[in-house]
Amino acid sequence: MMGQSGATVNRCLILLALASLLVLGACGKKTRPVPPDTVLPAPITDLRAKLDEKGVTLTWSFPTRTVQGERLPYRLDGFRLLRAVVAEKDYCAGCPVTFGPAIDIKGESGAEGEVTYRETLLRPQHRYVYRVQSRAGWFVASADSNPVAVGWDTPLQAPRELAAEEGDQLLTLTWQPPAGLLDGTEVTDPVHYQILRSLNGEVFAEYGELVDGLSFVDRNVRNSTRYFYKIRAVRLHHETKAGGMATEPVVASPRDLQPPVPPQHVAVTAIEQGVKIYWEAVPETDLAGFHIYRRDPAKDKAEHVGEVGGASLSFIDKNLPNSSATWYYSVTAFDRARPANESSPSMEAIFEARKP
């Protein structure tokens, strides 16, 4: 609802309008009354247009000030959108255009104090020029906003075969060009690509500049974090980006691929419970633990016999087979990566069982 001060201002404006009509009516000339600058909304100066594969989205800041910089004393009723449609072959930057009937918009500011308007029924090979006015009642309207012009053409199909390769603190995206336009026409213009990225798989935002090739390496990532990507094919239609269809999303997580260094100075000794294997600490910040291996001298491959956490520096092998009097032990370190990276084996330590 309008506050008392806003209602007072509107009553004053109405009286002013009536007075103006009476004066002008006396001389036989009728026109709309012009309210004083002290209450006119300041013109919108940040009208923006963004194309995607379905149409154009206009965005502007919700006005809060008069032309003299004072806070608006009333609530705006909405906005009046002016639109001109010109065939691309007839369009001339800076030339006058003829706007069609105004479109009334019941606009309210969003979470960021902005108003958006979406238009999807656009004609290929045409240029759309927009201006917007804010209004309060039938005779209080701001001056025109800054103009924006966008060109529209048949969108591109989505790129094909999008794939993501996981690396250490990086993700590599690869794809193939689109098969053509949505109407089946072959693509003759140069095609660029816009990366779209999301952290939740739901809200995707344009990420980085346009890419000319068929691959992209994202190094602004953290290991073990999931990232979602889409790719949109784009043509530079005169001064604007003519976006195409986006791919289905892919998800990938960069991961640590650097294994820890192997444990050093592995030694063994006989104890009552079996064989005790021990080693020196490994200076790794993401160390998770150690694997212990035992090898029969008659075989080339060692057998995994145990695992301990990173705080442990020893292990007791209680299940020593009787098939040999000599055994070779080695130890590896592994980290917290998923899947874990395992170091190369340490140098083997030899255990010789005592003969009875």
What's the pLDDT at 28? Answer: 47
Query: Between these two residues, 200 and 12, which has the higher pLDDT value?
Result: 200
Lowest mean pLDDT among 105-114, 122-131, 140-149, 275-284: 105-114
Q: Which long-range contacts (CB under 8 A, 24 or more apart) does 180-184 make?
A: 180/156, 181/154, 181/155, 181/156, 181/157, 182/154, 182/155, 182/156, 182/157, 182/244, 182/245, 183/154
Percentage of the residues of the chain whose pLDDT score is greater than 70: 86
Could you read off the pLDDT of 225-269 as tens digits, one per residue?
Answer: 999 999 999 887 655 666 788 999 999 999 999 999 999 999 999
- Distance (Å, rounded) from C-alpha 35 to C-alpha 289? 78
pLDDT tier at 167 (50, 70, 90 boundaries)? very high
Are 331 and 292 in contact, with CB atoms under 8 Å apart?
yes
Domain topology for 160-252? Immunoglobulin-like (2.60.40)
What's the pLDDT at 54? Answer: 84
Q: Which amino acid is at 121?
A: L
DSSP-based three-state secondary structure for 20: helix
What's the pLDDT at 25? Answer: 40
- Distance (Å, rounded) from C-alpha 330 to C-alpha 296? 12
pLDDT tier at 182 (50, 70, 90 boundaries)? confident
Report the Cα–Cα distance between both ends of the chain, in Å, rounded. 101
Provide the mean pLDDT of the chain. 86
Pairing of strands 314-317, 274-278: antiparallel
DSSP-based three-state secondary structure for 11: helix
- Distance (Å, rounded) from C-alpha 56 to C-alpha 121? 9
pLDDT tier at 135 (50, 70, 90 boundaries)? confident
Could you read off the pLDDT of 266-308 as tens digits, one per residue?
Answer: 999 999 999 999 999 999 999 999 999 999 998 999 999 999 9
Q: Average pLDDT, stretch 202-215?
A: 94
- According to CATH, where is 2.60.40.10 located in the chain? 36-152, 160-252, 267-352
Here the tokens at position 222 are 């953290």
Count of H-run helices and E-run strands, the chain: 1, 23
Q: Average pLDDT, stretch 134-150?
A: 87
pLDDT tier at 356 (50, 70, 90 boundaries)? low
Domain 36-152, classified CATH 3.30.70.20, yes or no: no
Element (H, E) at 17: helix 4-26
8-state DSSP, 89: G
- pTM for the model: 0.61
Percentage of the residues of the chain whose pLDDT score is greater than 90: 58
Q: Average pLDDT, stretch 175-189?
A: 89
| pLDDT at position 17 over 60 | no
Query: Between these two residues, 264 and 55, which has the higher pLDDT value?
Result: 264
Lowest mean pLDDT among 99-113, 137-151, 160-174, 209-223: 99-113
Here the tokens at position 64 are 């809060």
Phi, psi angles (nearest 5°) of residue 18: -65, -40
Q: Average pLDDT, stretch 10-39?
A: 48
Could you read off the pLDDT of 325-339 as tens digits, one per residue?
Answer: 899 999 999 999 888
Q: What is the CATH number of domain 267-352?
A: 2.60.40.10
pLDDT tier at 22 (50, 70, 90 boundaries)? very low
Are 223 and 337 in contact, with CB atoms under 8 Å apart?
yes
